[in-house]
């Protein structure tokens, strides 16, 4: 499934390659053009009344919801001028713009036109609406009309209704009639060859825009006149047609969304762990293989000891043993500061997910937080399939209960308890911070002589949710935070 998803994403990117407009007068920058390369620049240019051409000049631009409130204005922003959002024609492919499903941050004034072209968009429509539109646009004021022109362009939607429902919606639009200001004939092509769950090509479609009103379970006009031309849409997932035959569309949509979010969480966790572990392993191999130090200091992985100095007989990871997490405890200081460390020891029974996501506070709160961890493990009679939380603890045995040992050396000397052959492999936390997210930091560690990334959670809530197999109810901001941290680790 992971390979399938990545392959489809690459195919979508290939779709945009080489499709930028040809050179000529259009490639010359007008005086009122603004090249943007990130979210804050996008919002600043959008709010600048002198900018009429907003040109995406970076391979990917992510516009966070917080970006819309970071300037001198507060949303909603009232757009009183015509504006063009387009990919830079000098790029070899259409850039990606992710609007992050920002809800209602812009309102178009009367008779204003917004044009979107030569971009691959995502995060622009994330609700049960079955009518064309953009989520970041609010309805116009009563009696006012604005215009939205899209294409040529492409984009992906996280969850779509199947083609049968799209054809039904298209029929309803046909009955309403094509707006007179857009002459021509509506044409949409379904079921085109694809590796995505669903792909639709809008050759030409003009219609009145509408947004979903959840209180009345119906679409309501939003005052936008929309014209789509040469627009290709990819779907990450499709609502189950069997459910739609016997249930309400909204109920089926919400059920499908629940399953989709759970799968997305699982894929995100697996992809992040595999990418980080693979990158760390390649980095270690470049530094050199495991060798015996000529001074007798013991086995090392590059410049980093694989195990404590007292145990150099076996540096290979032991079979299926529960890991022991060791960390250098620092009271009142942050990682990386040059202070004397004092030996502190804490022992606590932890489940596999808890060991993988060891709680971490700041400063003196660390010991107290570790003592308060809940020791609930995975029941032995649990279903056979792997939970996302078990995948997070990839180094742990499924039914094992871990012992957490927090041992901090004094004056830099390593401390080990029980160097017998039955000692489980250790996860040693290093004072190297790889990322700092809203739910806890990611630090570097050693496991079996290999560098790994260890997520230290400041809260048990996300892992409790995963253990209960309710990933769909996980806070969305946690998912985004975790994704950003994994991306930062990979790019480090």
One-letter-per-residue 3-state SS of the chain? CHHHHHHHHHHHHHHHECCCCCCCHHHCCCCCEEEECCHHHHHHHHHCCCCCEEEECCCEEECCHHHHHCCCCCCCEEECCCEEEEECCCCCECCEEECCCCCCCEEECCCCEEEEECCEEECCCCCCCCCCCCCCEECCCCCCCEEEEECCEEEEEEEECCHHHHHHHHHHHHHHCCCCCCCCCCEEECCCCCCCCEEEEEEEEEEEEEEEECCCCEEEEEEEEEEEEEEEEEEEEECCHHHHHHCCHHHHHHHHHHHHHHHHHHHHHHHHHHHHHHHHHHHHHHHCCCEECCCCCCEEECCEECCCCCCCCCCCCCCCCCCEEECCCCCCCCCCCCCCCCCCCCEEEECHHHHHCCECCCCCHHHHHHHCCCCCCCCCCCCCCCCHHHHHCCCCCCCCCEEEECCCCCCCCCCCCCCCCCCCCEEEEEEEEEEEECCEEEEEEEECCEEEEEECECCCHHHHHHHCCCHHHCCHHHHHHHHHHHHHHHHC
Whether residue 39 is contained in a domain is answered as yes
Does residue 91 sit in the same domain as residue 21? yes
Does residue 108 sit in the same domain as residue 206? yes
Does residue 222 sit in the same domain as residue 300? no
- Report CA 68 to chain centroid distance, whole Å: 19
- Predicted local distance difference test score (pLDDT) of residue 455: 73
Q: What is the pLDDT of residues 74-119, one digit of tens each?
A: 889 999 999 999 999 888 889 999 988 888 899 999 999 999 999 9
- Predicted local distance difference test score (pLDDT) of residue 35: 93
Does residue 213 sit in the same domain as residue 297? no
Whether residue 255 is contained in a domain is answered as no
Does residue 227 sit in the same domain as residue 275? no
- Predicted local distance difference test score (pLDDT) of residue 28: 55
Does residue 96 sit in the same domain as residue 178? yes
Does residue 186 sit in the same domain as residue 318? no
Out of 223, 238, 253, a domain closes at 238
Out of 179, 206, 238, a domain closes at 238
Residue 455 among known ligand-binding residues: yes
Q: What is the pLDDT of residues 155-189, one digit of tens each?
A: 988 888 888 887 887 777 777 889 999 999 999 88
Compute mean pLDDT per 10 residues along the chain, 492 residues long, and list them: 44 50 47 90 93 93 89 86 93 89 91 96 76 89 95 88 81 83 90 74 92 76 94 86 84 79 54 64 59 45 42 37 45 35 35 38 36 39 39 36 35 41 67 68 79 68 48 56 63 55
Whether residue 254 is contained in a domain is answered as no
Q: How many domains does the chain have?
A: 2
Does residue 274 sit in the same domain as residue 221? no
Whether residue 147 is contained in a domain is answered as yes
Whether residue 244 is contained in a domain is answered as no
Whether residue 249 is contained in a domain is answered as no
Q: Is the peptide bond before 215 cis (omega within 30 degrees of 0)?
A: no
Does residue 205 sit in the same domain as residue 317? no
Domain limits for position 435: 261-491
Does residue 215 sit in the same domain as residue 273? no
Does residue 66 sit in the same domain as residue 162? yes
Whether residue 246 is contained in a domain is answered as no
Whether residue 30 is contained in a domain is answered as yes
Does residue 193 sit in the same domain as residue 299? no
């Amino acid at each position: 499934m992971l390979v399938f998803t990545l392959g489809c994403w690459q195919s979508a990117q290939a779709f945009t390659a080489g499709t930028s407009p040809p050179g000529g007068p259009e490639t010359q920058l007008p005086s009122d053009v603004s090249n943007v390369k990130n979210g804050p620049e996008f919002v600043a240019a959008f709010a600048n009344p002198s900018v009429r051409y907003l040109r995406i000049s970076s391979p990917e631009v992510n516009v966070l919801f917080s970006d819309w409130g970071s300037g001198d204005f507060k949303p909603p922003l009232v757009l009183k001028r015509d504006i063009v959002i387009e990919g830079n024609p000098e790029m070899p492919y259409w850039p990606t713009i992710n609007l992050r499903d920002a809800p209602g941050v812009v309102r178009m004034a009367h008779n204003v036109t917004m044009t979107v072209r030569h971009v691959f968009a995502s995060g622009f429509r994330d609700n049960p609406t079955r009518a064309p539109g953009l989520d970041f646009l609010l309805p116009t004021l009563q009696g006012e009309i604005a215009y939205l022109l899209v294409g040529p362009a492409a984009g992906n939607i996280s969850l779509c209704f199947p083609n049968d429902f799209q054809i039904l919606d298209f029929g309803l639009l046909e009955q309403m009639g094509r707006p007179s200001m857009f002459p021509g004939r509506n044409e949409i092509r379904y079921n085109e060859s694809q590796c995505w769950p669903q792909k639709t090509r809008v050759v030409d479609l003009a219609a009145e825009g509408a947004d979903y009103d959840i209180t009345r379970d119906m679409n309501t006009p939003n005052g936008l006149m929309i014209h789509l031309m040469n627009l290709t849409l990819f779907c990450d997932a499709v609502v189950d047609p069997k459910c739609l035959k016997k249930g309400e569309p909204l109920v089926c949509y919400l059920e499908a969304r629940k399953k989709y979010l759970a799968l997305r969480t699982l894929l995100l966790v697996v992809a992040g762990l595999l990418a980080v572990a693979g990158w760390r392993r390649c980095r270690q191999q470049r530094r050199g293989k495991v060798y015996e130090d000529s001074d007798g200091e013991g086995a090392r992985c590059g410049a980093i000891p694989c195990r404590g100095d007292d145990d150099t007989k076996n540096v290979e990871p032991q079979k299926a043993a529960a890991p022991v997490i060791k960390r250098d405890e620092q009271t009142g200081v942050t990682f990386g500061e040059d202070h004397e460390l004092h030996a502190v020891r804490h022992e606590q029974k932890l489940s596999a997910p808890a060991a993988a996501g060891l709680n971490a506070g700041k400063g003196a709160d660390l010991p107290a937080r570790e003592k308060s961890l809940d020791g609930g493990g995975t029941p032995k009679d649990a279903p056979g399939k792997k939970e996302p939380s078990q995948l997070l603890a990839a180094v742990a045995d499924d039914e094992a209960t871990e012992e957490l040992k927090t041992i901090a050396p004094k004056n830099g000397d390593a401390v080990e308890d029980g160097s017998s052959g039955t000692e489980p492999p250790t996860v040693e936390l290093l004072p190297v911070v790889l990322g700092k997210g809203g739910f806890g930091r990611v630090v570097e560690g050693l496991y079996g002589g290999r560098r790994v990334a260890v997520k230290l959670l400041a809260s048990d809530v996300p892992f409790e949710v995963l253990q209960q197999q309710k990933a769909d109810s996980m806070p969305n901001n946690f998912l985004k935070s975790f994704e950003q941290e994994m991306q930062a680790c990979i790019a480090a």
